[in-house]
Amino acid sequence: MLLTRKANGSVAREGRLARALSGVLAKTMDRRAFLRRSGVALGASAVASQLPFRIIGEAEAQEKKVAAKVEVKRTVCTYCSVGCAIDAHVQNGVWIRQEPVFDSPINLGAHCAKGAATRDQGITHDSRRLKYPMKLEGGKWKRISWDQALDEVSKRLLKIREESGPDALMVVGSSKYSNEQAFLLRKWVSLWGTNNTDHQARICHSSTVAGVAQTWGYGAMTNSYNDELNSKSLFFLGSNAAEAHPVSMLHTLHARENGCKVIVADPRYTRTAAKADIYVRHRSGSDVALLMGILHHIFKNGWEDKEYIRTRVYGMEQVKEEVLKKWTPDKVTEVTGVSEAEVFQVAKTLAENRPGMIVWAMGQTQHNNATTGVIRASCLLELALGNVGRRGGGANIYRGHDNVQGATDVGPNPDNLPGYYPVAVPGSWAHWARVWNVDLEWLKKRFASEAMMTKPGITVSRWIDAVLEKNENIDQDPNLRAMIYWGHSPNSQTRGSDMLEAMKKLDLMVVVNPYPSATAAMCAMVRKDGVYLLPSTTQYESSGSCTASNRSVQWREKVMEPLFESRTDHMIMYQLAQKLGFADQLLGKKDGKQNIRLVKGKGGMDEPDVEDILREINRGVWTIGYSGISPERIQAHMRNMHLFDARTLRCKGGKDAKTGYDLTGDYFGLPWPCWGKPEMKHPGTPNLYDTSLPVMEGGGNFRALFGVERDGVSLLAEDGSHPKGADITTGHPPFDHVLLKKLGWWDELTEEEKKEAEGKNWANDLSGGIIRVATKVHGCMPFGNAKARAVVWNFPDPIPQHREPLYSPRPDLVEKYPTYDDVKTLWRLPVRFKSEQQKAVKEEMHKKFPLILTSGRLVELQGGGEEQRSNRWLAELQQENFVEINPKTAAARGVRNGEYVWVSTPQRNPDGSFVRIKVRARVTEGVGPDTVFIPFHFSGWWQGRDMLAFYPEGTEPRVRGDAVNTAIPYGYDRITVIQESKTTLCQVERA
Ligand code: SF4
């Protein structure tokens, strides 16, 4: 154990990243020369710390002693969504050394602390990995065999299914799966017969996906990190990228060096703020008012892009009218606490520095009005400035986990089948049954009813209520009785004390994870049996693809064989499916055909072939263009990273030596949409909706997703607004067999394509012919060409509204800007809004808990933090959970830096007492006197008590602490029920 405790628990962390990067980027030299010269420092992570030097030192020493051949396996960091590539050096099957990939256009040879320390993930016996299956028996953890575990788990599941139906189970998947595993799990759950499945995207960016897609078509980041080099302004609102997406800051700081203005608005003065030209501190939860205030100055001064709005945006006049009337500077200051001069300065800077981007992460997404308010207002700002669909402009939305984008695109979502085909549309099921080679009628019978098959399922944010809520209030027959936590941390969800009650009440909890996670310890605190732990591998023990935040897809080579008794997730899915009776369907085996081959995995056991799974994704996901992203193409990209330009992501020329594949013109990782079949060679789309490029060079336009007309007003793009070179030079609806015939383009399909395309549209024509003719032959977007929507008429707030948090420090503002009415059924459950808010006001929670509590990330940790807190290098850097508190606030409570404090909140324990957590005080002016900040990566304490005794022996993380989410109370977004964890109330007192 190398942990070295730092004095008084505080950690010297100021400015490491900032110093390293600013030093590096201040020099002007060509990229490769610079990287070579500073390679060890930057590559092995000057960004991070001294850690990688030690790792590399150890590994090199070993290499000298052993003469066996060293193989280099190229993989991708499994932590955040930046997508930094790693070269893993393997000798005798052991991962002995790692290097950042200097040729990667994404990370340019850099890693942050996490990436640099990732080799430690499970390579030693003291790694705290779950090494073999276990079950809870008589309140004790007991080692069992895989056969016993699979047998008992499947028997219990089948019994629950027989007694209560398929909806009594929920499977929480993972944003850390490969695309193939995420896809396979969505299929697995469908074959079981429920839509009760979800993953971390629900609690990090579900509101982004909904808000952005409803505005312009796709719910994803519009541009790339690299494209920031083309920006003249970057507005960070709700993102502390320097800690949450550290290597992305390479691009941000490089842009800044080129004159790009960086603006940060945040309730907390973050490391990102330390690099800003303008920093604005606004009250947590007041983002809509701030954004509308900025728009007010833009409209008032006529700075909006009028021609862009005329041709490409629907409804902006209505927004302008409301903003000018409602969001006068005094109102903005009243809500946000930001002065008129500051707001004006931001607006003017953004207007004068175009193209520009807004950047956000979870600071925007976790509010009761996140989707309809914060996200949408951010979209409106960029549309008003004419930034979206431009190189250097748009919405750079930084996702969380390494493959949260991919898992959202093709994975376990309760409302969508892979590729955002909605479960509510019966045609989606017909489409996927064909692709999966599964009988549709058989599939229908797997569900409780066809009504349940087309009803979006329960979300991960609310599963606890699906267990605890009265049965008559739930929109499915049974309450949840069984949960499978398949790569998920419970401490990333709010209302921890309620979750413990739900865990107590379940019949069965199955945890599939390389680490047992806090779930195991929480369950063992309140249960004697009915809990199983199954060890799965990390992504370094498997191969597969993952999608970075910028939509580029990368391929990971398997670095090493599965460690200990762990098995790959897709092997476990297959083995469970065998026991549950749908293994053939999982493989698409019917009528003499089989979509997915079985190959030999760990110990000679069968597992589904990963490349075949990706080919099945290729055959079905036309909507967002995963159809063109074959394993062969992205593997060629990984072998030839040096051929891609770091500014444009484009390959100027070159062939893959292994296969002869010509990479010329491809964008790195074929950022989706990558239209048509792989052989059509669409290059991917680096920036969405960019009309300055031809479609076959990555160009596009806004998606026609909302009809062609609204109240007599056309929703299609105006004449002259189209991708460069398109044969249709005005707005048009999506392509289908009828439109193709009307245009006289039908005969451009081959006879084979015609047979398949008859009666189909661009999204369900499995021949790809409709897309081929639209894109390759005529240069048009398959999904039509429409305007973005400034007004989303199907949302409760068609124009974004400020709504006070459910637990607001300002009852006066609750009166003026209340939250929504309660909803009887949303995602199968009732959701309280106004009743909860009014109760809080009535009980004067703002007096009992006078401080705003907000949460966020640290550079050394990720998500629930179990892996990093088990990693000896990272554990050493962050040894205890803490609360940032302003000196004045601390002094008023007699609290000094480094002391333990209790942070209590309105969340209650079952006995009615308020929940409180014990953390160290970090006294800093980084937060204002009314706000405190706690990182959300900790677990392993329960309200001040160490949970060590409840972990299976040898699996407890090195660093444990109270989870902030144990204490964050009720509150959900009106559309996606993402938790309201960015703004709530608390009190702090000396422990
Ligand atoms: S955690 Fe993110 S920024 Fe850090 S090395 Fe991994 S991918 Fe890169």
Residue 704 confidence (pLDDT) above 90: yes
pLDDT grade for 65, boundaries at 50, 70 and 90: low
Residue 411 confidence (pLDDT) above 90: yes
Give 363-389 pLDDT, tens digit per residue. 999 999 999 999 999 999 999 999 999
The per-residue pLDDT for 10 is 39
**Distance from the alpha carbon of residue 554 to the mean position of ligand 1, in angstroms:** 14
Atom 8 in ligand 1: residue holding the nearest Cα = 84
The per-residue pLDDT for 125 is 67
What is the enclosing helix (H) or strand (E) of 43?
none
Residue 12 confidence (pLDDT) above 90: no
Give 705-743 pLDDT, tens digit per residue. 999 999 999 999 999 999 999 999 999 999 999 999 999
**Cα dihedral 889, 891, 896, 898 in deg (nearest 10):** 10
Residue 23 confidence (pLDDT) above 80: no
Residue 55 confidence (pLDDT) above 50: no
**Distance from the alpha carbon of residue 227 to the mean position of ligand 1, in angstroms:** 18
Alpha-carbon distance 811 to 838, whole Å?
9
The per-residue pLDDT for 28 is 34
pLDDT grade for 5, boundaries at 50, 70 and 90: very low
Fill in the amino acid letter for 113. Answer: A
What is the position in ligand 1's atom list of the atom closest to the CA of 116? 5
What is the position in ligand 1's atom list of the atom closest to the CA of 862? 1
Alpha-carbon distance 589 to 587, whole Å?
5
Residues 6+ apart with CB under 8 A from 422: 415, 416, 428
Taking residues 166-180, report their average pLDDT.
97
Task: Give Cα 859 to chain centroid, integer Å.
Answer: 17
| Distance in Å from the first CA to the final CA of the chain | 28
Give 556-569 pLDDT, tens digit per residue. 999 999 999 999 99
Alpha-carbon distance 944 to 963, whole Å?
10
pLDDT grade for 48, boundaries at 50, 70 and 90: very low
Report angle CA 193, 218, 678 to the nearest 5 degrees.
80
> Is residue 214 within 8 Å of 314, Cβ to Cβ?
no
Alpha-carbon distance 517 to 536, whole Å?
12
> Is residue 684 within 8 Å of 637, Cβ to Cβ?
no
- Percent composition of the chain: helix, strand, coil (DSSP 3-state, to 5): 40, 20, 45
Taking residues 967-980, report their average pLDDT.
96
What is the position in ligand 1's atom list of the atom closest to the CA of 113? 4
Q: Choose the residue to mutate in 80, 108, 243 for probing ligand 1, maximizing ligand atoms within 8 Å of C-beta.
A: 80
Taking residues 49-68, report their average pLDDT.
44
The per-residue pLDDT for 68 is 86
> Is residue 186 within 8 Å of 613, Cβ to Cβ?
no
How many C-beta atoms surround the C-beta of residue 675 within 10 A? 29
**Distance from the alpha carbon of residue 89 to the mean position of ligand 1, in angstroms:** 19
What is the position in ligand 1's atom list of the atom closest to the CA of 248? 3
**Distance from the alpha carbon of residue 401 to the mean position of ligand 1, in angstroms:** 10
| Tokens encoding 238 | 């709700």
Taking residues 600-628, report their average pLDDT.
98
**Distance from the alpha carbon of residue 115 to the mean position of ligand 1, in angstroms:** 5
Atom 2 in ligand 1: residue holding the nearest Cα = 80
The per-residue pLDDT for 67 is 66
**Distance from the alpha carbon of residue 724 to the mean position of ligand 1, in angstroms:** 36
**Distance from the alpha carbon of residue 377 to the mean position of ligand 1, in angstroms:** 29
Percent of the chain with pLDDT over 90: 92
Q: Is the peptide bond before 673 cis (omega within 30 degrees of 0)?
A: yes
Percent of the chain with pLDDT over 70: 93
What angle, rounded to 10 degrees, do the helices at 248-257 and 16-25 form?
A: 50
Residue 15 confidence (pLDDT) above 50: no
When computed from its CA atoms, the radius of gyration of the chain, rounded to whole angstroms, is: 26
**Distance from the alpha carbon of residue 75 to the mean position of ligand 1, in angstroms:** 12
Residue 43 confidence (pLDDT) above 90: no
The per-residue pLDDT for 127 is 81
Residue 29 confidence (pLDDT) above 70: no
Taking residues 611-629, report their average pLDDT.
98
Alpha-carbon distance 679 to 658, whole Å?
18
**Cα dihedral 438, 432, 736, 778 in deg (nearest 10):** -110
Task: Tell me the backbone φ, ψ of residue 367, rounded to 5 degrees.
Answer: -135, 160
The per-residue pLDDT for 517 is 83
What is the position in ligand 1's atom list of the atom closest to the CA of 402? 7
Q: Choose the residue to mutate in 16, 49, 76, 82 for probing ligand 1, maximizing ligand atoms within 8 Å of C-beta.
A: 82
Task: Tell me the backbone φ, ψ of residue 76, rounded to 5 degrees.
Answer: -130, 140
Q: Choose the residue to mutate in 245, 554, 867 for probing ligand 1, maximizing ligand atoms within 8 Å of C-beta.
A: 245
What angle, rounded to 10 degrees, do the helices at 376-384 and 287-300 form?
A: 20
Give 291-332 pLDDT, tens digit per residue. 999 999 999 999 999 999 999 999 999 999 999 999 999 999
Give 140-152 pLDDT, tens digit per residue. 999 999 999 999 9
Alpha-carbon distance 690 to 393, whole Å?
10
**Distance from the alpha carbon of residue 244 to the mean position of ligand 1, in angstroms:** 9
> Is residue 108 within 8 Å of 850, Cβ to Cβ?
no
Give 935-971 pLDDT, tens digit per residue. 999 999 999 999 999 999 999 999 999 999 999 999 9
**Distance from the alpha carbon of residue 85 to the mean position of ligand 1, in angstroms:** 9
| Beta pairing partners, 965 | none
Give 883-920 pLDDT, tens digit per residue. 999 999 999 999 999 999 999 999 999 999 999 999 99
Q: Which of 189, 673, 627 is nearest to 423 (CA)?
A: 189
**Distance from the alpha carbon of residue 868 to the mean position of ligand 1, in angstroms:** 12
Residue 653 confidence (pLDDT) above 70: yes
**Distance from the alpha carbon of residue 113 to the mean position of ligand 1, in angstroms:** 8
Residue whose structure tokens are 């505080």? 10
| Beta pairing partners, 552 | none
Residue 31 confidence (pLDDT) above 50: no
The per-residue pLDDT for 197 is 98
Taking residues 457-472, report their average pLDDT.
98
Q: Give the dihedral sign, CA 864/869/873/876.
A: positive
| Beta pairing partners, 920 | 882, 900
Atom 4 in ligand 1: residue holding the nearest Cα = 112
| Beta pairing partners, 545 | 555
Alpha-carbon distance 700 to 692, whole Å?
8
Atom 6 in ligand 1: residue holding the nearest Cα = 115
Residue 27 confidence (pLDDT) above 70: no
Fill in the amino acid letter for 344. Answer: F
Q: Quick one: DSSP state of residue 281?
A: -
Residues 6+ apart with CB under 8 A from 599: 606, 607, 608, 609
Q: Choose the residue to mutate in 81, 114, 248 for probing ligand 1, maximizing ligand atoms within 8 Å of C-beta.
A: 114
The per-residue pLDDT for 516 is 87
Residue 69 confidence (pLDDT) above 80: yes
Residue whose structure tokens are 């559309």? 975
Give 99-153 pLDDT, tens digit per residue. 999 999 999 999 999 999 999 876 666 789 999 999 999 999 999 999 999 999 9
pLDDT grade for 34, boundaries at 50, 70 and 90: very low
Contacts from 350-354 at CB under 8 Å and sequence distance 24+? 350/233, 350/235, 350/263, 350/294, 350/298, 350/381, 350/385, 351/298, 351/301, 351/303, 351/385, 353/232, 353/233, 353/260, 353/261, 354/232, 354/233, 354/305, 354/385, 354/386, 354/387, 354/393
DSSP secondary structure string for all residues of 363-388? HHHSSTTIIIIIIHHHHHHHHHTT-T
What is the position in ligand 1's atom list of the atom closest to the CA of 112? 4
Q: Which residues line ligand 1 (CB under 6 A)?
A: 77, 79-80, 82-84, 107, 111-112, 114-115, 245-247
Atom 5 in ligand 1: residue holding the nearest Cα = 115
**Distance from the alpha carbon of residue 247 to the mean position of ligand 1, in angstroms:** 6
What are the helix (H) ranges across 14-145? 16-25, 31-37, 51-65, 113-116
Q: Is the peptide bond before 906 cis (omega within 30 degrees of 0)?
A: no
The per-residue pLDDT for 430 is 98
3-state class (DSSP) for residue 949: helix
Give 483-539 pLDDT, tens digit per residue. 999 999 999 999 999 999 999 999 999 999 999 889 999 999 999 999 999 999 999
Give 480-495 pLDDT, tens digit per residue. 999 999 999 999 999 9
| Tokens encoding 536 | 């799965």
What is the position in ligand 1's atom list of the atom closest to the CA of 111? 5
**Distance from the alpha carbon of residue 743 to the mean position of ligand 1, in angstroms:** 48
How many C-beta atoms surround the C-beta of residue 223 within 10 A? 30
pLDDT grade for 64, boundaries at 50, 70 and 90: low
